[in-house]
């Protein structure tokens, strides 16, 4: 049941995060033709893919700096969090598969489509890379803060934790924007790989070792 629910919610979230870019593209082009290419679903240069893989360990290390504080760790693994949901089940292959689907599709793919393939692309086209990528990164950080506020794992979330989430997510968002728009030549695969590897590794560690 866990895997089916995870798969269903992942499909729905990817679809939901794709609606806005699709409507925007359709209004501009008057045809759905070329939409996947617009999002960046084409072959990435080897350098971009390498950068995507190499970025993941750094993002995991940076992200786990917050887990060094017991109060922060409680929020990250407690009830109401993604990890807390997995902790309700006995560890096993179903949990691992569910973590994989969540990391690769529900979080990484959905977020990369909305924030990098769409928002970053449009903002960078209008404002240039530095400003456009910074704005989408800040929006990405704000989205994660809102997510924790609306689905709290503890009665009160410390301001310091929210600040750490905002800064960490914004930095990750900026790096992902670089991976797609510069290192990847517009291809979504470098940043999707980096994001998926980061989330999958982080979820596994939090579920099985904390």
Is-contact 39 113, C-beta < 8 A?
Answer: yes
* Three-class DSSP category at 166: helix
Q: Is the pLDDT of residue 74 over 90?
A: no
Residues 36-51: what's their mean pLDDT? 97
Average pLDDT, the chain: 90
The domain in which residue 160 lies consists of: 2-209
Question: How many structural domains are present in the chain?
Answer: 1
Please report, rounded to a whole number, the percentage of residues in the chain having pLDDT higher than 90.
Answer: 68
Confidence band of 17 (pLDDT split at 50, 70, 90)? very high
Q: Is the pLDDT of residue 11 over 60?
A: yes
Confidence band of 111 (pLDDT split at 50, 70, 90)? very high
DSSP category for residue 44: P
Residues 107-117: what's their mean pLDDT? 98
Residues 175-186: what's their mean pLDDT? 97
Count Cβ atoms below 10 Å from residue 139 Cβ, excluding itself.
17
Q: Which two tokens stand for residue 182?
A: 């510069």
Task: Give the closest residue to 180 by CA, choosing from 118, 108, 109, 116.
Answer: 116
Residues 89-99: what's their mean pLDDT? 92
pLDDT digits (tens, 9 = 90+) for 138-174: 999 999 888 877 765 555 777 888 888 899 899 999 9
Residues 108-130: what's their mean pLDDT? 98
Residues 22-45: what's their mean pLDDT? 97
Q: Is the pLDDT of residue 16 over 90?
A: yes
Lowest-confidence region among 35-39, 85-89, 183-187: 85-89
Report the pLDDT value the prediction gives residue 112, as an integer from 0 to 100.
Answer: 98
Report the pLDDT value the prediction gives residue 86, as an integer from 0 to 100.
Answer: 87
Q: Which two tokens stand for residue 125?
A: 């086209």
Report the pLDDT value the prediction gives residue 63, as an integer from 0 to 100.
Answer: 73
DSSP category for residue 120: I
Q: Which two tokens stand for residue 38?
A: 């617009």
Distance separating alpha carbons of residues 57 and 187, to the nearest angstrom:
21
* Three-class DSSP category at 78: coil
């Amino acid at each position: 049941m866990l895997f089916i629910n995870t798969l269903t919610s992942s499909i729905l979230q990817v679809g939901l995060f794709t609606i806005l870019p699709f409507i925007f593209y359709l209004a501009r082009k008057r045809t759905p033709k070329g939409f996947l290419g617009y999002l960046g679903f084409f072959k990435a240069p080897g350098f971009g893919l390498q950068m995507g893989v190499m970025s993941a360990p750094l993002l995991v290390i940076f992200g786990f700096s917050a887990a060094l504080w017991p109060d922060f760790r409680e929020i990250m693994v407690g009830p109401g969090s993604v990890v807390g949901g997995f902790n309700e089940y006995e560890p096993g292959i179903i949990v691992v598969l569910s973590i994989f689907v969540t990391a690769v599709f529900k979080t990484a793919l959905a977020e990369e489509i909305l924030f990098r393939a769409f928002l970053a692309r449009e903002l960078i086209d209008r404002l240039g890379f530095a400003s456009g990528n910074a704005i989408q990164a800040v929006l990405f950080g704000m989205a994660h803060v809102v997510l924790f506020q609306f689905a709290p794992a503890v009665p009160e979330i410390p301001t310091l934790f929210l600040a750490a989430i905002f800064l960490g997510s914004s930095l990750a968002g900026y790096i992902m924007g670089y991976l797609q728009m510069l290192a990847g030549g517009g291809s979504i695969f470098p940043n999707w790989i980096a994001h998926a590897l980061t989330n999958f590794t982080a979820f596994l560690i939090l579920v099985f070792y904390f």
